[in-house]
Amino acid sequence: MTNEITHGNLGIGEVTLKINLVGVVGAGVMGSDVALDLACNGYRVVIVDIDEMILDKSDEKMKKTFSLMKMMSPKYRSLDWNVIDEKIEFHTEYKALSHVDLIIENVTEDWNVKKAVYEELREVCKEETLFAVNTSCISITKIAGLMKRPDNVLGTHFMNPVPMKTLVEVIKGHHTSEATVETVTAFLKSMNKVPVVVNDFPGFVTNRVLMLTINESIWLVHDRVGRPQDVDKIFRLGFGHEMGPLATGDLIGLDTILKSLEVLHDSYNDPKYRPCPLLRKMVDAGLLGKKSGQGFYTYDKRN
């Protein structure tokens, strides 16, 4: 699949950017799902993680996720894993991204980590490469300030699990060009996603509300107002949510929830974002949710 999309004015008139090769930085839960979804939609993918063990686990996870996708959604049943797998390359060095057209970055919600990653990408990527920051709360404008072409940077906040969710929150930073927004939204539509464009502010729309909801739900457990299963049941049956906030926190990762709340608390200096002590205690204990096998609920780590 090659999508020809008019992108921007690079000083030489309008150019046609062919998004064919996509880089994915970070091979954790989110990065693996993004890479798999890209390959299922016909794109060639270069996935980079500095930890080779994480890359090995990523390949295994994608194969298991693909099997589940085929069972749950008819649109994937005609796809063959071997064909999908051939579209994905695994690398431990950023130089493997030197020729990609678009990078979707998925590293941990930590400014120092992201800053180091973008300083590396700035040196190896071609000038016209677009950068899509898959972040929960960190400023897109701040990240764009690290790059040679800040107008080529925007946020793409995918929902979890990526292959099964259509919404992508697209965040326009202060410097993001309209051409970049148009190119990336067209690209997302080619993946059967529904992009919704919002402006850059800590937490954007989704996580500015969601993190408050999850944190307050943890306070309910901390204060012994209700058990986790009862808090979630109220949200599922009372408000029609597919998942309760505590199960959602487990799915995202309680360590990610904590880091996101810390970013929001620091950004707004508002006590309403203060993380619940129970959340800190669980993260300190390694009870991170689904990825560790234990959070507010118990999970089979083999799945």
Integer angstrom CA distances of residue 221 from 96, 248, 267, 272: 46, 15, 26, 17
127 is in an annotated binding site: no
Q: Which residues pair with 105 in a beta bridge?
A: 25, 133
29 is in an annotated binding site: yes
148 is in an annotated binding site: no
26 is in an annotated binding site: yes
Q: How far apart are CA 19 and CA 11, in angstroms?
A: 20
49 is in an annotated binding site: yes
Q: Which two tokens stand for residue 266?
A: 């620091």
Q: Which residues pair with 4 in a beta bridge?
A: 18
243 is in an annotated binding site: no
Contact 83, 4 (CB under 8 A): no
The sheet with strand 130-133 has its strands ordered as 88-91, 44-48, 21-25, 102-105, 130-133, 153-158, 167-172, 194-199
58 is in an annotated binding site: no
136 is in an annotated binding site: yes
Residue with tokens 């408050």: 212
253 is in an annotated binding site: no
- Closest C-alpha to 211, from 170, 162, 265: 265
Active site residues: 136, 157, 169, 207
Could you list the residues known to form a binding site, using ranges.
26-31, 49, 109, 114, 136, 160, 291
Could you list the residues known to form a binding site for NAD(+), using ranges.
26-31, 49, 109, 114, 136, 160, 291
